[in-house]
Every structure is written in C-alpha cells, then in structure tokens.
C-alpha cells in the first residue's frame, strides 16, 4: 500500500476552514486560467463553462477526499444525485468520491482507539490489520481477529467528524452560493438542517448498530441478503465492531454473465420496493460500496446503516400514486401527483408544461412497457436529459421537494444508476404491479 493514501484527518475548525479556503481559491484560479484560454481562442466564456471543468472537479474531489467527514459525504451525495445531468467526464471524476477517502495514519488511528478502548486495546486481539480494508467519508474499516479466533470488521470514525458537521455543511453551502450554482432565490435552509440531522445520525455508531439489527430482523425471511451483527463488547459511539462477512465489490458484477447481473439487480430493486411499501423504513444511502456480493452463494451483503430512516406514510403514498398512474397510462394523474407531492413546482408546470408532458410521455413509454426494461438503453436517458435540461435552464423555477422525498428518491436513483452500470434487464412493470397488489 503506497503512503500517498495515508493523510491525517484535519479535525480542528481552523484547519478544516483553511481547507475550504484552499479549495475555493483553487477553483477561482482554475476559472481564471480557463477563461483566459477561451478568450485567447476568441471564445466568449460562460460562467458555468468556467466552473464545471474537469480540472475544477478534480480539485474538489481531491480536497473533499482529504477532508472526509460531512464535507466528503455531501460531495458523494451530489455526485450520485447528479446522475446523468452533469457531463460524463465530470460525473466520472466526482464518482471517485464514493470510495477514494484517504486513510488515517497509524499514529492517529492508535490515538482514536486508545480513547475508545484504553491504552492496552491490542491485548484484545490476536491480530489487528492497521491497513484499512475500506475507507469512506465518516470512517474506515479494519479487519481484526479476537483471541478466540472470531474475525471482526471494525469501523473507526475519523476524529473530529461529528464535531465538524455543522461547519462542514455550512461551508459546502457557502461554496455552492459563491459559485452561483444555486439561484439566490432558492431557500435551502430546511435542506441544510435535514442534512445536518442525518449526518449527526450517521456519526452515531450506537444508533447504527440498532439500525443494523432492525434490518437483520426485517430481512430474516429473505435468503438473498446477509446483514452483519454488531459485536457489543467493542462497539462505542465512535467505533462499530461487527462480524466480518466476506464478499466482493458489487461492481465486480460488470464482468459477470447477463443473467447474473439481472438477478442481483432485480433483488436490489425488490428491496427498494419492500423498503418503500412494506417496511416503511429505508437505508437511503445507495453508495455502491454499501453492497458486497458473494459469488459462491449469490448472496448480497448489506453494509452501512447510518442513513436508515423511516419513510412517512404520505411519502410512500405519493410514490404509490405515481406508480399506479404510470401503470394505467394516466398522464394527467401522474402530472397532478407530481405537483401534489411537491416533486415539481406549480411555477415549473406553468412555464414548462410542454417539456414536463414530454418527459412524462417518455417515462410512460419506456418504464411502463411490458417485458424486460433495458437499463442500458441510452436513448431513453438522452430523451429524459433533454427535457430535464429545458426545465433546469430556468433557474427561477427551481424547486426543492420535501426532505423525506429527496432521501427516498436518492435511494431510487442510486439503485437505477447501479442498474445502468450493470446494463441489467428487469421486468420492471411486473415488479411494480406485484408490489401494488
């Protein structure tokens, strides 16, 4: 393992604020360079063209992966939620945020574990691997073997992450405002408050252990999934110990036969439908790293339950009405539900009804057809992108749906992105019909 993956987590307010300042300065410098280049070529650059460049995306990605914590988590959310809206080259760069966190140096890791377990913590283990087997935004995971031979996965939270949530979210919001990516008239205060709340929950490993047990119970009747069990003697607010379940990255499926990819993605989409309409509870973080796959058993290992949350009845009902309207081919009912559930603002409907109706027609034509839906069909995505871009270009009509809807849609969209990545084919209409029976 090369040493460039190890970097101390900046845990103090001043050091983290300085990192945001360096990021903003680097973006501004990159814009000046790009602007000068375009002017020299006789072009009249637009602000968005200067801001959304591969070089700036790389700057943001690198800096957030060093910061970790809430800042990196928000970057991951943006990279996944953007889906096919951003240019492909920018999406590819931002996608690195899903699993590109740096590791804590061994000395910093030791300091964290001494604080949680005491100075003689190593006596508990026959072996503790100091090189992480995974690193994400909130913490990194180590494999360890107890004295009795039990193998555990130990998730260790980065120092200062919980205490920096408020400032990190506010700093990311400020960057979005300064960069003019968000209209000044768009009120995101409720969304920032909700983001801070969820990130505080994700940083509470005692809570996550409870959510993990809940999912183990919810899926007890489903042989397709494996959920770890928390190991209470070593679990604290900042360290989560659990039984180690072997598995490969879910992305390995890209190299497997079509029928294997289809089966796994059908299972994952089925889980989303159960979460939404049966459990009333959803793990809302669709980061690909949260899924592992066992080739021998065909089972899917589910990880990371910090973002698990209840689904309000009114949110589930809105999705139920949308799906029913789609199945019945009732475009008027679907449009009305989009407005009633605040997916779309009345202003957007008033100004862009033709584009909205065209998008609805495209969705109904492709998603509602019998037989297998091909997620590799890019013509469908391109059609929707054109219609979305027409509406999104009118920044004054931008609108943020309710927070609960956003979290659910994040899981739905993330699962769809994985299905696209796997080029899977699924009986989408049949699955929805069976769910709504």
pLDDT at 4: 56
Q: pLDDT tier at 295 (50, 70, 90 boundaries)?
A: very high
Q: Average pLDDT, whole number, for the chain?
A: 80
Gap between the Cα atoms of 298 and 33, Å rounded? 50
Q: pLDDT tier at 139 (50, 70, 90 boundaries)?
A: confident
pLDDT at 11: 47
Gap between the Cα atoms of 179 and 170, Å rounded? 14
Would you say residue 36 has pLDDT above 50?
A: no
pLDDT at 306: 92
Q: pLDDT tier at 205 (50, 70, 90 boundaries)?
A: very high
* Catalytic (active site) residue 148: no
- Report the percentage of the chain scoring pLDDT > 90: 46
Q: pLDDT tier at 38 (50, 70, 90 boundaries)?
A: very low
Distances, alpha carbon 87 to alpha carbons 49, 230, 238, 347, 382, in Å: 11, 41, 37, 27, 12
- Report the percentage of the chain scoring pLDDT > 70: 74
pLDDT at 334: 92
Tell me which H or E stretch contains 359: helix 346-367
Question: What tokens appear for 345 in the block?
Answer: 């603002």
pLDDT at 182: 62
Asked whether the beta carbons of 143 and 153 are under 8 A apart, the reply is yes
Give the dihedral of Cα atoms 410, 412, 418, 422; nearest 10 deg. -160
Q: Where are the domains of the chain?
A: 3-103+162-199, 248-437
pLDDT at 190: 80
Q: What is the pLDDT of residues 167-190, one digit of tens each?
A: 777 776 766 666 565 667 777 788
Q: pLDDT tier at 117 (50, 70, 90 boundaries)?
A: very high
pLDDT at 344: 86
What is the 3-state secondary structure of 226-253? ECCCECHHHCCCCEEEEECCCCEEHHHH
pLDDT at 193: 84
Would you say residue 278 has pLDDT above 90?
A: yes
Would you say residue 225 has pLDDT above 50?
A: yes
Half-sphere exposure of 138 (CA within 13 A, CB side): 24
Would you say residue 50 has pLDDT above 50?
A: no
Would you say residue 363 has pLDDT above 50?
A: yes
- Kindly state the average pLDDT of the residues 33-54: 46
Asked whether the beta carbons of 61 and 97 are under 8 A apart, the reply is yes
Q: Which of 285, 336, 340, 377 is catalytic?
A: 285
Residue 287 vs residue 76, higher pLDDT: 287
Residue 202 vs residue 214, higher pLDDT: 214
Residue 137 vs residue 199, higher pLDDT: 199
Would you say residue 2 has pLDDT above 50?
A: no
Q: What is the pLDDT of residues 387-425, one digit of tens each?
A: 777 777 777 777 788 889 988 988 998 898 899 889 999
How would DSSP label each residue in 58-119? HHHHHHHHHH-HHHHHHHHHHHHHTTTSS-HHHHHHHGGGGT-PPBPPHHHHHHHHHHHH-T
Bridge partners, residue 153, by sequence: 143, 242
Q: What is the pLDDT of residues 384-395, one digit of tens each?
A: 777 777 777 777
pLDDT at 388: 78
């Amino acid at each position: 393992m090369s040493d460039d993956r190890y970097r101390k987590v900046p845990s103090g307010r001043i050091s983290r604020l300085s990192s945001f300042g360096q990021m903003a300065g680097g973006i501004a410098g990159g814009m000046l360079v790009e602007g000068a280049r375009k002017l020299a070529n006789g072009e009249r650059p637009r602000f968005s063209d200067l801001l959304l460049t591969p070089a700036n995306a790389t700057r943001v990605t690198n800096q957030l992966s060093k910061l970790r914590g809430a800042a990196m988590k928000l970057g991951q959310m943006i990279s996944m939620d953007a889906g096919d809206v951003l240019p492909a080259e920018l999406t590819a760069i931002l996608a690195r945020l899903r699993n590109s966190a740096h590791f804590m140096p061994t000395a910093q890791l030791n300091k964290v574990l001494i604080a949680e377990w005491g100075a003689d913590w190593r006596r508990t283990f026959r072996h503790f691997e100091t090189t992480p087997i995974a690193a994400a935004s909130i913490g990194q995971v180590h494999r360890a073997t107890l004295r009795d031979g039990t193998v555990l996965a130990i998730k260790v939270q980065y120092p200062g992450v919980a205490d920096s949530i408020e400032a990190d979210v506010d700093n990311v919001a400020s960057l979005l405002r300064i960069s003019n990516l968000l209209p000044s008239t768009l009120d995101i205060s409720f969304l920032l408050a909700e983001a801070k709340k969820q990130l505080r929950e994700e940083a509470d490993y005692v809570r996550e252990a409870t959510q993990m047990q809940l999912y183990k119970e919810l899926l007890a009747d489903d042989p397709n999934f494996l959920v770890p069990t928390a190991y209470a003697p070593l679990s604290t607010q900042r360290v989560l110990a659990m039984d180690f379940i072997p598995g490969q990255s879910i992305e390995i499926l890209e190299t497997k036969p079509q029928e294997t990819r289809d089966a796994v993605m059908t299972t994952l989409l089925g889980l989303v439908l159960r979460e939404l309409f049966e459990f009333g509870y959803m793990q809302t973080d669709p980061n690909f790293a949260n899924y592992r796959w066992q080739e021998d058993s065909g089972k899917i290992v589910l990880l990371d339950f910090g973002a698990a949350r209840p689904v309000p009845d009114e949110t589930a009902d809105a999705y139920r009405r949308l799906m029913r309207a789609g199945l019945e081919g009732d475009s008027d009912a679907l449009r009305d539900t989009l407005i009633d559930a605040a997916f779309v603002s009345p202003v957007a409907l008033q100004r862009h009804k033709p584009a909205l109706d065209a998008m609805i027609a495209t969705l109904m034509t492709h998603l509602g057809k019998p037989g297998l839906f091909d997620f590799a069909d890019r013509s469908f995505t391109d059609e929707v992108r054109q219609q979305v871009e027409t509406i999104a270009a009118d920044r004054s009509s931008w609108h943020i749906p309710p927070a609960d809807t956003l979290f659910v849609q994040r899981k739905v969209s993330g699962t769809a992105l994985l299905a696209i990545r796997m080029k899977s084919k699924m009986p989408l209409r049949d699955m929805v019909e069976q769910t709504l029976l």
